[in-house]
Amino acid sequence: MQSEKLTAKDAAAVAVAQNAGQSETIAISGVYTVECFDADGQLKWSDQIKNLVVTVGKNDLLDKYFTGSSYTATWYLGLINSGGTYSAGDTMASHGTWTENTGYSAATRPAPTWNAASSGSKSTTATAFSINASGTIGGAFMTSNNTKGGTTGILYSAGNFTGGNRTVASGDTLNVTYTASV
């Protein structure tokens, strides 16, 4: 005779997971948009630059924003000669692989006009560079000093064109805009 025995058991398991803390991160990024127009106003080329916000630029932003006092900075745009690479350690005094292009008619680096922030971004209106010497432009940068060719002030960001170096001729106008996003 065969016998079968069955034992009934109940089992239950419950797990509760709770996120005990809040976490938020912020990333700072920016894009330069550059359009080159010839002496007749015809668009020759356009390009964008996804910039590197360098360490001294990030530190300056944090030091100024979280001081509890009002702070207004004037920033200036500059052009970069062809070639070069960028690193987070670059400063206006030390950026060994790139040099500033000063082949434009203004006596100082131009200050862009900023639009109101919206949706986590803030942009400039077009800042014009009247080119007075033929050359090759590799990118753009932003600094707190207006001295054309100068090596003082805070370097905020720098970057290369995504499409490679671009040629300019005397009489061309470069319109540069910058958009910062967090």
Q: Which amino acid is at 97?
A: T
Nearest CA among 99, 92, 96, 62 for reference residue 154: 92
What per-residue confidence (pLDDT) applies to 64?
75
Which H/E stretch holds residue 32?
Answer: strand 29-37
State the Cα–Cα distance between residues 151 and 111, nearest whole angstrom. Answer: 17
State the Cα–Cα distance between residues 105 and 26, nearest whole angstrom. Answer: 38
State the Cα–Cα distance between residues 82 and 107, nearest whole angstrom. Answer: 21
Q: Give the dihedral of Cα atoms 162, 150, 181, 24; nearest 10 deg.
A: 120
State the Cα–Cα distance between residues 131 and 105, nearest whole angstrom. Answer: 6
State the Cα–Cα distance between residues 45 and 38, nearest whole angstrom. Answer: 9
What per-residue confidence (pLDDT) applies to 167?
95
User: 17-44 in b/e burial notation, b at 16+ Cβ within 10 A?
Assistant: eeeeeeeeeeeeebbbbbebbeeeeeee
Averaged pLDDT, groups of 10, the chain, 182 residues long: 51 55 76 96 95 84 70 87 84 89 98 91 95 95 95 92 93 96 86
State the Cα–Cα distance between residues 180 and 57, nearest whole angstrom. Answer: 12
- Residue 32 exposure: Cα atoms within 13 Å on the Cβ side: 30
What per-residue confidence (pLDDT) applies to 16?
55
State pTM to two decimals.
0.82
